[in-house]
Amino acid sequence: MRKIRVFNFLTLDGYFEGPGHDIGWHRHDAEQNEFAAQSLGLGGVLLFGRRTYELMAGYWPSPQAMQNDPTVARAMNAAEKIVFSKTLHDVEWNNTRLCQQNIIEEMRALKRTPGKDMTVLGSGSVVAQFAEEGLIDEYRIMVDPVLLGEGTSFCKGIRRRCDLQLTSTRTFENGSVLLCYRPC
């Protein structure tokens, strides 16, 4: 059975984006680029909501991405991707398909099929919907040492308690900490 994991960056005060969808506070450095490249090298399907998809599709296929981080750019562009949106009518980023309806049923069906594990990047509303339905098998949270004071909560929209068990941690030289949890 395939697994769904979540990978998100968070501020120490629990926001995954600042006002105006700002993510410029994330302290991405060479060590984290290497970690991202290794993670993407394991294969898998990337899952996005509309806003995250538009952000990623606007950057990773660009010459700037290839110049700044060619290994991650190649992996992001080659990865199989699914974007969940009721408002998009077309997706142009290579290896991407659009799922417009019944995302919960779609993910339940995909989890039952053989294939690669799936990772939700960003996409707070998708994370909330999947968490509500018990579809998430692992949470990987990169906590950055910054306080924003305002923004969008990572857990916005989750209405039920979800107890988690810490499975591993990793500290990065820039002060970020990766926390990995699985539902109890």
Q: State which residues form the domain around 152.
A: 4-156
Handedness of CA 25, 124, 53, 174 (dihedral sign): positive
Q: What is the pLDDT of residues 156-175, one digit of tens each?
A: 888 888 999 999 999 999 99
The pLDDT, as a whole number, for residue 41 is 64
The pLDDT, as a whole number, for residue 128 is 92
| Any domain includes 102 | yes
| Any domain includes 165 | no
Q: What is the pLDDT of residues 9-28, one digit of tens each?
A: 999 999 989 998 888 888 77
Tokens, residue 177: 């900490």
In the chain, the number of structural domains is 1
Q: What is the pLDDT of residues 91-150, one digit of tens each?
A: 999 999 999 989 999 999 999 999 999 999 988 889 999 999 999 999 999 999 999 999
| Any domain includes 181 | no
Q: Is-contact 2 116, C-beta < 8 A?
A: yes
| Any domain includes 61 | yes
Report the CATH number that the domain containing residue 45 is assigned in CATH: 3.40.430.10
| Any domain includes 166 | no
Q: How far apart are CA 155 and CA 26, in angstroms?
A: 18
The pLDDT, as a whole number, for residue 154 is 81
Radius of gyration of the chain from Cα atoms?
A: 16
| Any domain includes 164 | no
